[in-house]
Amino acid sequence: MSQTTLIGGLHSVQAALRYDPSRVREVWLDSRRRDGRHQKLRRQLEALECPVHVSHPRALDEKLPDFNHQGVIVAWQGRPPLDEGDLAQHLDGLSHEPLILVLDQVQDPHNLGACLRSADAAGVDAVITPRDRAAGLTPVVHRVAAGAAEAVPLYQVTNLVRCLRDLRDRGIWLFGLADTGAIGLHDSDLGGAVAVVMGAEGTGLRRLTREHCDALVAIPMAGRVESLNVSVATGVVLFEAVRQRSALS
């Protein structure tokens, strides 16, 4: 079944409207906000066939506590959760060599949102995460992803190692990012059917995940910092893949 998620913030709600306004099920607006941006967004939301509540800001704070909703919240009817079966069907239907992003237990919703945004910009065909011990599609993820949370297919799998084996059986090469990787990123071959495998914040790739990768690659680091944030590193690796794949086309 599909899920209803509360999305707050001007950019996130505007991105949701651009993607598919029919998914908005209910709206809450801050009665005290009168600036031009809010008024324009309010007119768009009031034109939808759904309940619109103009409320005191405290009511919005109660809907999304500890969240900067910027005076606007919508109830968003998201896609049904996607799993291994959906992933197989999706890959079967592709007419090109896939570019896949695998996130091994990324738990910070800010990082997941940023990874989804980079994945969308890079033309990634699928993002895969484990079902457990990983961030889901929270309001924070939607805000940071700025529309990419709906645009990029996100698959939550029960057993990540088994999923990696299935990808290898399809002829998809698995490149894991690791500080100790034997291959520099710019020396790796990311031009074909590829899955980029990124580890969790701080701990990196788990042992079994690392062992199921075909190669471990490292981002060259010129300064004193030893590693990059997972979302930044994801963007670096994905756009190196884009560069290589563009050179082959």
Residue of 145, 23, 10, 22 lying closest to 72 (CA atoms) = 10
Cβ contacts of 87-90, under 8 Å, gap ≥ 24: 87/126, 87/128, 87/155, 87/157, 87/163, 88/166, 90/125, 90/126, 90/153, 90/155
Other CB atoms within 10 A of residue 132 CB:
11
> 3-state secondary structure string, 121-160?
HHCCCEEEEECCCCCCCCHHHHHHHCCHHHHCCEEEECCH
60 φψ region: left (φ > 0), alpha (ψ -120 to 50), beta (else):
alpha
Annotated binding site: 199, 219, 228
Annotated binding site for S-adenosyl-L-methionine: 199, 219, 228
How far apart CA 75 and CA 6 sit, in angstroms, is: 5
Locate tokens 């940071």: which residue? 144
* CA–CA–CA angle 62, 65, 71 (5° rounding): 75
- Number of residues assigned to the chain: 249
